[in-house]
Every structure is written in C-alpha cells, then in structure tokens.
Amino acid sequence: MLIEFQVENFRSLKGRQTFSMVGAALTEHVNTNTFDSGLKGFDRLLRSAVIYGANAAGKTNMLRAIHFMKTFVLNSASETTAPNPYSPFKLSKATTKAPSEFQITFVQGGTRYEYGFTLGPTRIEHEWLTEHVQSRSRTRARAMFDRVWDSRSKKHTWTYGPYFKGQKSTWSEATRDEALFLSTATQLNSTQLRPVFDWFQKKLVVIVGEINFNQSLSLKLWDQPEGKENLLSFLKEADIGIVDINIEKQPVPSGALVMVGEPMLERKKGSQAATIAKVVLSHMSDDPKSPVQFDFEEESSGTKILFKSAGAWLNVINNGEVLLYDEIDTNMHPKLLGFLIQKFHSDVTNPNNAQLICTTHNTSLQSRDFFRRDQIWFVEKERNGASKLYPLTDFRPRGDEAIERGYLRGRYGATPVLPDVSS
C-alpha cells in the first residue's frame, strides 16, 4: 500500500511536492473509501485519489515521477548505453544542474519503508532506506543504509544500520556511481532488500503516456479456474449488455501476417508459437432465450477497451496493487469510469485494499457520491512555469459543499485561463 510520495526538481515539478494517501479526520465514506492500515500512527489510508488540473499543468508529470522511480529501481543496476535519465526543471538556472529527489513511503509485508534517492547529472548524490518494524508496544525505525557522494574524495561514503546484514562491501563495490544500491544489492541476492524491490516490481502499476494495460491478462484469465466467471461477472457489472463470452484460441498459420490487437495475439513465454484469440461476445436481444453473438471487431471501442483491460483491472484489485492511471477517462464513458472507481471502494470487491490514483478532467467525479474531500487533489501551473500540487482539504470545504461547481468557478484554482472571445 502507498502512504506518501515526494518529488523535487523533476520536469515541471520544481519545488518539493508531496502527495499523500493518508486519510483525514472526515466522516464521509469512512467504511468504503478508506481502510485501516494496521499501522501505529496512521489511522486510515485512502483507497483512491483523483488529480485535476488544466492541460499542461503538470498532472502527468506527477505520475511520470513515480513511474521514473519505479523504472530506475528496476533497471539501474544493468549496464546500459542509454543517456542519464536526469530531467530537472529547466526554466531556472538554480535547478538545471541541481539534483532531482524522489522519496516514497509504502507498506510491504506488514513493514513500513521509507526509500529515496537524489539524482544529479552524472551520478546518485544520495540514497537511503529506513524500515519501520512494528511490535505490540511500539514502532522502531531502523536505518538500513545511507549512501552520500563525497565531493572531496570523489566517491560515495556508506553507512549501514546494525540490522542490515549480508555482503555489504561486495554490494557497494559493485554499485556504479550512476546506479542505485537497492537495485544492485537485490540483483546480488540481498534478502533484506528484496521486499522493497518486489514492491516496485509487483505492487506498483503505472499507466502513463503510451504505456497501456497488458491485454493478454484477459486471455490468461480465461485459462484460470473460474476465470470465465470472473471475467463475465466483471463485464456484466459494467452494464454493457453482455450475457456470455466465448474465446477460441487457434495457432497462427506459418507465414501469416497478423496485427496485434484485433484479433488479439498471444505468445506464450519461452515459445515462438503464437495463437490468435477469437473472441465472441453474446448480447441480450429482444428475445431473452436467443442472445445475439458479435465478433470482437464488431464491438464498440468502449467495449473493446473494457474487455482488453478487464484482466488487468481484476489483477490489480485481486493482488492489492497500487494503480496510477493518467487520463483515466480517455475513451471511457463516465458511467463506466464510475463503475471502475467504485470497485475500489468496497471491502467486498476490494478485500486486499488495492489503491487507485488517477488524473482526469471529468468533473462529475467531484460528486460526494464518489470521493471524500481528502481524495481530491489539484495541480496548477505557476507564473514561473513550475507545477504546484495541493489537496482540496487546503480550502477546508464544508461537507455539503458543491465541489464541482466551486471548481468550475475557479474557487480552488487549477482551471484553464482562457481569453475572452465575446467581443
């Protein structure tokens, strides 16, 4: 579960920006939109949050920052010829060569971790990890490692906590100046750092830019016990008129040219053989006893998107993952979007406390039926070109306040400034 994320000097995010999933002391939707974290000092965490802002305000950059942190953790230990991923705020001389900082607080296996690093133009300037181990009486903070660049000696200095075990000197010597110690030590079999690495790899899902859901998850779901029932139930709940599904997998003929997507193409791991999944969806007709079958290519774009992503949505919820989704309302009807969000707001449909964080322009979601006041965030572009992130709760809105109307009237900022074209 995600608790907090901080970023500074990354793309349009010049100053330190803090995003939190810690619930405020509010009464609305407590039993649905929040959950007990089980942690001392953190009463309840949010199951979802939504970020609003004008185009080019920096909403996407917030998600890009987390996506960057994830990919850098997973890949920095590998030797690469790719350019340094350092991407500072470029509209100020003070920041063009200053380090970018990323810090995240999350829970994995019942332990709270705080991990972060600062990245300069040519190297890691600072990297640290602290774990908070909870007992019946108290929570103990244990510093695992701390790595700082020493400009005099031109090398990193290392500090290890007494609880951090393993081949520390071997791991530090193997860590390149521009790579993360977390990535390198995990690659070299550090068992204590493995849960941290696994959280980034297995629990954090970011959909931003050209990155899309893995549509093969819907096909893999079909091969699992009760997979059809789960997939069909998900589609039926979305109220798109589907009453049955049939998927027939056929081998791709040798030499055939097939476009990935329609029909869906699946290639099993470790095999060059591919199969075409022929998907047929049955819809209710005016004769309840005679549903009408449609080939997948005959379905609407919205139905196709939902079917292709159904396996991924179910995977996120069933595994208690953290999903960050940029422009979630793209090609999606508001009613369908509301359905997907509400899947997260229930102990029944979200028993493992998966979390959803999304950006959108759909102001109808600002209704009290969907979100609490502490679940709504804004991003606004300041005069110097920097993005500012802030929560709705900064304005102390009343419980019965019409949030959508206030937002559209500019009460909370983060709306486009348009020229007057009436004259």
Spatial distance between the Cα atoms of 394 and 396, rounded to a whole number of angstroms: 6
pLDDT tens for residues 84-138? 689 999 999 999 999 999 999 999 998 999 999 999 999 999 999 999 988 777 8
Residue 423 pLDDT grade (very low, low, confident, very high; cuts 50, 70, 90): very low
**Looking at the domain assignment, is residue 178 inside a domain?**
yes
**Looking at the domain assignment, is residue 320 inside a domain?**
no
Q: The tokens of 364 are what?
A: 């109808």
pLDDT tens for residues 250-266? 777 665 555 444 445 55
Residue type, 202: K
The mean-pLDDT minimum among 135-139, 159-163, 352-356, 383-387 falls in: 135-139
Full residue range of the structural domain in which residue 422 is found? 1-209+326-423
Q: 31 with 150, same domain?
A: yes
Q: 198 with 84, same domain?
A: yes
161-166 average pLDDT score? 95
Q: 157 with 272, same domain?
A: no
Q: 205 with 218, same domain?
A: no
| Range from 181-185, 232-236, 399-403 that averages highest in pLDDT | 181-185
**Looking at the domain assignment, is residue 267 inside a domain?**
yes
Give 39 or 212, the one with higher predicted confidence.
39
Residue 272 pLDDT grade (very low, low, confident, very high; cuts 50, 70, 90): low
pLDDT at 241 over 60: yes
21: domain CATH number is 3.40.50
The mean-pLDDT minimum among 71-80, 84-93, 152-161, 206-215 falls in: 206-215
For residue 269, the model assigns a pLDDT of 56
pLDDT at 28 over 70: yes
pLDDT at 388 over 80: yes
Q: 192 with 268, same domain?
A: no
Q: Which of 314, 335, 353 is the last residue of a domain?
A: 314
For residue 267, the model assigns a pLDDT of 57
For residue 82, the model assigns a pLDDT of 57
Q: 33 with 181, same domain?
A: yes
For residue 273, the model assigns a pLDDT of 64
178-192 average pLDDT score? 96
Q: 58 with 44, same domain?
A: yes
**Looking at the domain assignment, is residue 321 inside a domain?**
no
Q: What is the mean pLDDT of the chain?
A: 89
197-203 average pLDDT score? 97
For residue 203, the model assigns a pLDDT of 97
Name the residue among 373, 366, 371 with its Cα closest to residue 398.
Answer: 373
Residue 419 pLDDT grade (very low, low, confident, very high; cuts 50, 70, 90): low
**Looking at the domain assignment, is residue 33 inside a domain?**
yes
193-218 average pLDDT score? 88
Distances (CA, A) of 197 to 5, 114, 160, 194, 253: 16, 12, 18, 5, 40
Q: 41 with 137, same domain?
A: yes
Going by the DSSP 8-state scheme, the letter that residue 379 receives in this structure is E
Q: 102 with 166, same domain?
A: yes
What whole-number percentage of the chain has pLDDT above 70? 91
Strand pairing class (322-325; 42-46): unpaired
Domains contained in the chain, number: 2
Going by the DSSP 8-state scheme, the letter that residue 75 receives in this structure is H
Spatial distance between the Cα atoms of 320 and 26, rounded to a whole number of angstroms: 24
Q: 260 with 291, same domain?
A: yes
**Looking at the domain assignment, is residue 187 inside a domain?**
yes
Name the residue among 200, 149, 151, 193 with its Cα closest to residue 168.
Answer: 193
Q: 94 with 27, same domain?
A: yes
Spatial distance between the Cα atoms of 376 and 393, rounded to a whole number of angstroms: 8
What is the secondary structure of 20-58 as a DSSP string?
E-BPPS--TTHHHHEEEEEETTEEEEESEEEEE--TTSS
Q: Which of 286, 314, 342 is the last residue of a domain?
A: 314
Strand residues in 262-368 grouped as ranges (E)? 264-267, 274-283, 292-295, 322-325, 355-359
**Looking at the domain assignment, is residue 319 inside a domain?**
no
Q: 348 with 243, same domain?
A: no
